[in-house]
Amino acid sequence: MASNFEVSVHKISKGFGLKLVGDFDATSEYELIYAIKKLPGDILNIFIHTDGLKDISPFGLDVFHRNMSTYDAQSRKLVFTGNKASHISQGESRPQSF
């Protein structure tokens, strides 16, 4: 469990920004999913900033991708930014809709 992981949520003009800091593992993934699910249902754009990530666990990524692919209760566009964006977003450079 990555005890140094944090998700900070900020309201921005286009939606919400989630800043990730620390190591990303399976437990961190659940924290991120929980933070996304807590956002208001009418928010369409969620910007996930990855510059603060250090170590990214392959297992944590796998869990994140599986959970996000099954999370389609609401259509939200996740936009990954920062130097680790391509790692988290399954290597895609365009925004993902979930």
**Tokens, residue 43:** 């928010």
**16 or 98: which leads in pLDDT:** 16
pLDDT at position 71 over 70: no
Confidence category of residue 53, pLDDT binned at 50, 70, 90: very high
Please name every residue paired with 95 in a beta bridge, in sequence order, or none if there are none: none
**44 or 79: which leads in pLDDT:** 79
Over range 59-74, report the average pLDDT.
Answer: 74
Domain boundaries, the chain: 6-97
Please name every residue paired with 6 in a beta bridge, in sequence order, or none if there are none: 21
pLDDT at position 42 over 90: no
Compute the half-sphere exposure of residue 3: CA atoms within 13 Å on the CB side of its CA: 0
**91 or 59: which leads in pLDDT:** 59
**Tokens, residue 69:** 């692919």
Cβ-based neighbours of 77, under 8 Å, separated by 6 or more: 44, 45, 46, 95, 96, 97
pTM of the entire structure? 0.81
* Structural fold of domain 6-97: Transcription Regulator spoIIAA (3.30.750)
Q: Are 64 and 34 in contact (CB under 8 A)?
A: no
Over range 19-39, report the average pLDDT.
Answer: 92
**Alpha-helix residue ranges (DSSP H) falling in the chain:** 26-38, 58-70, 85-88
Compute the half-sphere exposure of residue 89: CA atoms within 13 Å on the CB side of its CA: 23
